[in-house]
A and B are shown apart, each in its own frame.
Chain A
Amino acid sequence: MTSTVVRPPQRESRDSVVIRFAGDSGDGMQVTGSQFTLETALAGSDFSTFPDFPAEIRAPTGTTFGVSAFQIHFGGGDVMTPGDAVDVLVAMNPAALTVELNDLLVGGTVIVDTAAFTERNLTKAGYTRSPLEDDSLARYQVLKFDITKLTADAVKPHGLSSREAHLCRNMWALGLLLWMYGYERTASVEWLKKKFAKKPLIAEANIAALNAGHAFGETAEMTEHLVGYTVPKADVRPGRYRTITGTEGLAWGLVAGLRASGVEKLVFAGYPITPASALLHTLANLRAYGVVTFQAEDEIAAAGAALGASYAGALGVTSSSGPGIALKTEMLGLAIATELPLVVIDSQRAGPSTGMPTKAEQSDLLQAVHGRNADAPLVVLAPMTTADCFDIAIEAVRIATKYMTPVMVLSDGYLAHAAQPWRIPREADLPRFPVTYRTDPEGFQPFLRDPETLARPWVKPGTPTLEHRIGGLERDYDSGHISYDPDNHARMTKARADKIAGVARDIPEQAVALGEDHGKLAVVGWGSTFGAIHRAVQIARDEGRDVAHIHIRYLSPFPRNLGDLLKRYGRVLVPEMNNGQLVRLLRAEYLLPAESLPKVTGKPFRVTDIAQAIRKLS
């Protein structure tokens, strides 16, 4: 550096920005992204994040399949998705550059660590010559910094090994990006002190790197492209906020549901599987909240233990991803036959079979609704956003305990890891639905139904004089004893179907998320595609198109007004991250000529994908 110039305070203004941090699995990109998210949140901006990490645990360094990325979309407007295209790409090595460059907007900014562009790394990334030295990046604004050396200089006073110093590069990059958008470093400094509480030297070095990156932006020799920006605060409802991932939303929602039900214990049984394991990990730390977690020997045992717990009077919950849900199918049948509450959380991923475990898909809908032997109905719900995971989990507990039925919650790999701001509710404001266990022996029969809900009584073993036997064999409608009577089986089949269908009377009517309750086109979605569809419909409406957005959270049974509502639109378009599943259910249920917009790339919808489809139909 030849001179130091303190920048003038003027910054350019941006409504919203999409940044993608990309580097090797070991470069700490997820941590960098999370810390940037937190500073964004604390500054009052809205945001939506999308972590995209490789399936390999420790891929060889410098390889394209070892690239780990974290995308954040932040700003003042309605930030509903992690963003279609990237404004700023931070590429810590050539592999990250080559993998992620496609999504960078023409004219966008790419920040690279020049020291990582060695011949060895370039070869691993498939470059025959450095893209920094030819015109292949001419369409972008390229900011080349020797981040490795700048970091090493910054941490030198702390006496780290060169390897340890190298690991501080991400904090330097974080510092620079925080400067670019005028954000604070306080929360990151606090976090580093806490994380490295037992290694104060490492904490200090990382803080030094963070500060150095920030100071570099503040004082570096003027380069034409290194510009500071301001992003407006979001106009959101007053209250206390935090960031929430879908996994946290589900875990805390289950705990809140447990309390609302008054059930003493939640027994969560799972088996490790990507991307569902995070829920097991989160709940394993909530023992003080009445949660007992059990890592079973397989998916079947996990479902079995959860069902056994429900039989014993606790709230049984099991969780998996598509292939594991397939294994639990037999136990779902038993839960339906014995009419016991059970919450099943499916973090969907791309399939079939092992498929692409780290990539999100919505392709288990038909499995959830229909994927069992015999006539075996259950309730299926799907959260729209990470924050909605909390509410959906509470609702799943309510329906499971009130109707004595399994309830399947369809989350996905994207919701599990993505984060959004969340207005924290107070426990006092949450719903209450206390469960009553049957203790009265007068007129007791294990399958005597509540006339309104058609639910049978929940009896805890240990209750005197109510001893009874249940099982998978068909049982008599009245006495609950084993029965092969043909008319009885027909009556029981109908009772099981009517009970689930009746849940429709106990859930909200389908609302229109955006637009009118009639018109030319309804775009109907479910699950994690909410943000992309909503934004696309907003754009189309701004263009003057007659289009509405309807998002279904209750997939089985459907809300009671859904059919009538959909018939008030000329056309119905169903974007979903599968080869057309909700569209089939809607056609079958309502004889509607609904049209499909499938996306099966393992990546979330881009707003433009949907906006273009809308333009064709409206």
Chain B
Amino acid sequence: MTVTTITDAQLAPKDYASDQEVRWCPGCGDYAILKAVQKACADMGLSRERTVFVSGIGCAARFPYYMSTYGFHTVHGRAPAIATGIKLANPDLDVWVMTGDGDGLSIGGNHMLHVLRRNVDLNIVLFNNEIYGLTKGQYSPTSRRGTRSPSTPLGSIENPVSACAFALGAGARFVARSIDTLQAHLIAVLKRAHAHRGASFLEILQNCVVFNDAVFEHITGKEFAADAQVLVEHGKPLVFGKNKEKALRLKPGSLTLEVVDATAADILVHDETNRPLAQLLATLEPPFPTAMGVLYCNPAASYEHDVYAQPGAAQGVKGGDLDALLNSERTWEVLP
């Protein structure tokens, strides 16, 4: 193995790629996400040796193999638990959890709930393609009602979960959404997510070209995007449409949003520290525009920070006197 030392600031996106051949289906949205992550890493000058990508099972879970950082491909749904252990052992590591809608919201839903609630300092990226890809196309917990799949030949009769609403409900303090094809936006949001201390949750709408092609077309299609997406930015009015002619505001006398003309009075200005607003934005669905960007960001001390900040925190091997521990409480001497 040849060793070359490169200072982190000099690293280009390709330096974050491992020597492994990428094996996603041609045209898969995951390629775009990999590219965006490698670009974001280079832009931020992340140290490869301090960075760990952790994943569970699924197409998205192949991600760590394609990064030149440390990586741990674990078991289905459990990446948040393993990542928590990594942060407890070494809070200085920069840990990412790469997951999907099945991995993170079905088999690993419980772990996702608790890792967000605890606010472990992790960058959690959930690839939502509304389908189980690796197992060949069964419906997932984010699939819409009526989704036809090998396991739902008559169409799914289950109600889907909203990833961002779930994260907010679990107490996440950073919740964002982007799209695989929205490269510049995705890179910017990835950087925001990484800058956030505590658990950051980023949902990426990702197209599965084989089993669920064009499932987000009504949001991402060029001809629909302007009307079907509202790009939220802190401190900016919540406007959308080709000419930013439409806006969101609270429907008078109710706790719901309505679409009004951008010139109307009382149009909403995005406040990413406002949790109720984030909940409203997270759950918007057609005919409303889908909200993209940082829906909520309100940092607080992370879990592992508080673990080590508690009095008497682990002080390493020299911290305690073992002989004193073994001789604590009552002892007695047996003489020869």
Q: Is the CB of A461 within 8 A of B90?
A: yes
Q: How far is the CA of A316 from the CA of B81 in the complex (A)?
A: 13
Q: Is the CB of B331 within 8 A of A424?
A: yes
Q: How far is the CA of A538 from the CA of B20 in the complex (A)?
A: 64
B13 at the interface (CB under 8 A from A): no
B65-104: contact bitstring with A at CB < 8 Å (1 yes, 0 no)? 1011111111100101111111011101100000000000
B81 touches which of A262, A264, A301, A333 (Cβ 8 Å):
A301
Select the stretch in B30-38, B173-181, B252-260, B320-328 that faces chain A.
B320-328
Q: How far is the CA of A375 from the CA of B194 in the complex (A)?
A: 40
Q: Is the CB of B64 within 8 A of A461?
A: no
Q: How far is the CA of A38 from the CA of B85 in the complex (A)?
A: 39
Select the stretch in A48-56, A86-94, A303-311, A351-359 that faces chain B.
A303-311
CB distance from B48 to the nearest CB of A (A): 5
Q: How far is the CA of A443 from the CA of B2 in the complex (A)?
A: 9
CB distance from A423 to the nearest CB of B (A): 8
Q: Is the CB of A259 within 8 A of B317?
A: yes
Q: Is the CB of B332 within 8 A of A41?
A: yes
Select the stretch in B140-148, B222-230, B307-315 that faces chain A.
B307-315
Contacts of B315 in A (CB 8 A): 287-288, 290
CB distance from A254 to the nearest CB of B (A): 11
Contacts of A287 in B (CB 8 A): 310, 312-315, 319
Q: How far is the CA of A469 from the CA of B69 in the complex (A)?
A: 8
Q: How far is the CA of A302 from the CA of B78 in the complex (A)?
A: 10
B335 at the interface (CB under 8 A from A): yes
Contacts of A444 in B (CB 8 A): 1
Q: Is the CB of A243 within 8 A of B330?
A: yes
Q: How far is the CA of A241 from the CA of B326 in the complex (A)?
A: 10
CB distance from B229 to the nearest CB of A (A): 34
Q: Is the CB of B320 within 8 A of A298?
A: no
A200 at the interface (CB under 8 A from B): no
Query: Of all chain A residues, which has the CB nearest B329?
Result: A242
A179-199: contact bitstring with B at CB < 8 Å (1 yes, 0 no)? 000000001000000000000
Q: Is the CB of B314 within 8 A of A291?
A: yes
Query: When A238-B335, A291-B314 are in contact, do A314 and B89 touch as well, CB less than 8 Å?
Result: yes
B111 at the interface (CB under 8 A from A): yes
A308 touches which of B65, B89, B319 (Cβ 8 Å):
B89
- Name the residue among B54, B82, B92 with the largest chain A CB count within 10 angstroms: B82
Q: Is the CB of B49 within 8 A of A466?
A: yes
A312 at the interface (CB under 8 A from B): yes
Contacts of B84 in A (CB 8 A): 294, 296, 301, 304-305, 308
Query: Of all chain B residues, which has the CB nearest A461?
Result: B70
A residues 344-383 in Cβ contact with B at 8 Å: none
Contacts of A101 in B (CB 8 A): none
Contacts of B334 in A (CB 8 A): 44, 236-241
- Name the residue among B18, B86, B114, B327 with the largest chain A CB count within 10 angstroms: B86
A residues 463-505 in Cβ contact with B at 8 Å: 463-473, 481-482
Contacts of A338 in B (CB 8 A): 72
- Name the residue among A305, A338, A425, A468 with the largest chain B CB count within 10 angstroms: A305
Q: Is the CB of B331 within 8 A of A242?
A: yes
Contacts of B1 in A (CB 8 A): 441-444
B286 at the interface (CB under 8 A from A): no
B332 touches which of A242, A262, A288 (Cβ 8 Å):
A242
- Name the residue among B1, B3, B84 with the largest chain A CB count within 10 angstroms: B84
Q: Is the CB of A314 within 8 A of B335?
A: no
B283-294: contact bitstring with A at CB < 8 Å (1 yes, 0 no)? 000000000000
B114 touches which of A41, A258, A297, A307 (Cβ 8 Å):
A297
A252 at the interface (CB under 8 A from B): yes
Q: Is the CB of B73 within 8 A of A469?
A: yes
Q: How far is the CA of A338 from the CA of B82 in the complex (A)?
A: 13
Q: What secondary structure prevails in chain A residues at the interface with B? A: mixed
A273 at the interface (CB under 8 A from B): no
A residues 247-300 in Cβ contact with B at 8 Å: 252, 255-256, 258-259, 262-265, 267, 269, 286-292, 294, 296-298, 300
B85 touches which of A305, A443, A472, A481 (Cβ 8 Å):
A305
Query: Of all chain A residues, which has the CB nearest B331?
Result: A242
Contacts of B93 in A (CB 8 A): 312, 461-462
CB distance from B47 to the nearest CB of A (A): 9
A202 at the interface (CB under 8 A from B): no
Query: When A287-B314, A462-B50 are in contact, do A311 and B331 touch as well, CB less than 8 Å?
Result: no
Q: How far is the CA of A153 from the CA of B64 in the complex (A)?
A: 74
Query: When A243-B330, A334-B75 are in contact, do A482 and B89 touch as well, CB less than 8 Å?
Result: no
Q: How far is the CA of A466 from the CA of B86 in the complex (A)?
A: 17
Q: How far is the CA of A38 from the CA of B90 in the complex (A)?
A: 41
Query: Of all chain A residues, which has the CB nearest B310?
Result: A287
B113 at the interface (CB under 8 A from A): yes
B78 touches which of A240, A292, A331 (Cβ 8 Å):
A331
B86 touches which of A258, A291, A312, A472 (Cβ 8 Å):
A312
Q: Is the CB of A462 within 8 A of B49?
A: yes
A460 at the interface (CB under 8 A from B): yes
Contacts of B111 in A (CB 8 A): 297, 300-301, 304
Q: Is the CB of A286 within 8 A of B71?
A: no
Contacts of B71 in A (CB 8 A): 468-471
CB distance from A448 to the nearest CB of B (A): 11
Query: Of all chain A residues, which has the CB nearest B20?
Result: A481
Query: When A297-B113, A308-B82 are in contact, do A467 and B68 touch as well, CB less than 8 Å?
Result: yes
Q: Is the CB of A305 within 8 A of B82?
A: yes
Q: Is the CB of A305 within 8 A of B52?
A: no
Q: Is the CB of B64 within 8 A of A468?
A: no
Contacts of A42 in B (CB 8 A): 330, 332
Query: When A242-B331, A242-B332, A425-B326 are in contact, do A309 and B73 touch as well, CB less than 8 Å?
Result: no
Q: How far is the CA of A256 from the CA of B320 in the complex (A)?
A: 11
CB distance from B261 to the nearest CB of A (A): 47
CB distance from B34 to the nearest CB of A (A): 14
A225 at the interface (CB under 8 A from B): no
CB distance from B333 to the nearest CB of A (A): 5
B3 touches which of A269, A298, A316, A441 (Cβ 8 Å):
A441
B110 at the interface (CB under 8 A from A): yes
Q: What are 14 of the A-B contact pairs (CB < 8 Å)?
A: A242-B327, A292-B314, A301-B110, A301-B111, A302-B81, A304-B82, A312-B52, A333-B75, A338-B72, A444-B1, A461-B70, A461-B93, A466-B49, A468-B70
19 more contacts with CB within 8 A, not counting A300-B78, A308-B84, A471-B65, are A240-B332, A242-B331, A255-B325, A256-B322, A265-B89, A269-B85, A290-B316, A301-B80, A301-B111, A301-B114, A304-B111, A316-B89, A425-B326, A427-B323, A460-B90, A462-B90, A465-B3, A466-B49, A482-B20
Top 8 A-B residue pairs of the complex, sorted by shortest distance between their CB atoms:
A308-B85, A471-B73, A304-B81, A305-B85, A314-B89, A469-B71, A312-B89, A308-B82
